[in-house]
């Protein structure tokens, strides 16, 4: 497992931050609101965990610290379904995240967790950042969808890996 940035001391933030994410987990919120003091493309880069970006994710996360936004799998599934997207693709993106990003011990930020302030504080301390928010801007379209039995099965498959348990998602 990679050594996290900030574990070796120093007083300055990292030269570059990667925001790898699954679509509709809060990428825009993290990138545009929390990291708004960093210049796009110069100090930060966002990239979705799609199969076509596997090599790029692997390379970037091996070189720079990563902040990964998370939301509860059910909330994500509802958002994907509202947008007419395939939940199979959602699960593929989670697999890419687990296979290409998680190995490098990224900084996860579960945006809908009651502990999100604690996660944000830990990230700020480790990366020498000053991200802050009142959590009011959720960057949501405000729509929700009803999940059918097949959708529920796919959410259970995503949750069966144990990945989400470390963030208190049940």
Indicate the domain borders of the chain: 17-132+139-160
Per-residue pLDDT at 12: 73
| Nearest-angstrom CA–CA distance, 85 and 158 | 16
pTM: 0.84
Cβ atoms 164, 71 nearer than 8 A: no
Element (H, E) at 77: helix 73-82
Which tens digits make up the pLDDT trace of 17-43? 999 999 988 898 898 888 988 876 678
Which tens digits make up the pLDDT trace of 95-123? 899 999 999 999 999 988 888 899 999 99
Cβ atoms 96, 54 nearer than 8 A: yes
Q: Is the pLDDT of residue 135 over 90?
A: no
Q: Is the pLDDT of residue 3 over 50?
A: no
CA torsion 103→77→108→119, rounded to 10°? -160
CATH class of 17-132+139-160: alpha beta
Rounded to the nearest integer, the mean pLDDT of the chain is 83
């Amino acid at each position: 497992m990679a050594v996290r940035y900030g574990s070796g001391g120093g007083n300055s933030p990292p030269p570059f931050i990667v925001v790898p994410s699954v679509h509709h987990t809060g990428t825009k919120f993290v990138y545009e609101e929390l990291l708004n003091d960093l210049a796009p493309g110069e100090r930060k880069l966002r990239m979705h965990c799609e199969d076509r970006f596997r090599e790029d994710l692997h390379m970037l996360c091996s070189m720079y610290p990563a902040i990964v936004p998370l939301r509860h799998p059910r909330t994500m599934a509802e958002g994907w379904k509202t947008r007419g997207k395939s939940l199979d693709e959602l699960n593929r993106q989670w697999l890419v995240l687990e296979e290409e990003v998680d190995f490098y011990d990224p900084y996860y930020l579960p945006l809908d967790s009651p502990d999100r302030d604690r996660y944000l504080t830990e990230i700020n301390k480790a990366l020498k950042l000053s991200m802050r928010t009142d959590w009011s801007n959720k960057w949501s379209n405000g729509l929700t969808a009803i999940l059918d039995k097949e959708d529920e099965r796919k959410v259970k498959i995503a949750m069966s890996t144990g990945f989400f348990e470390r963030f208190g998602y049940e």
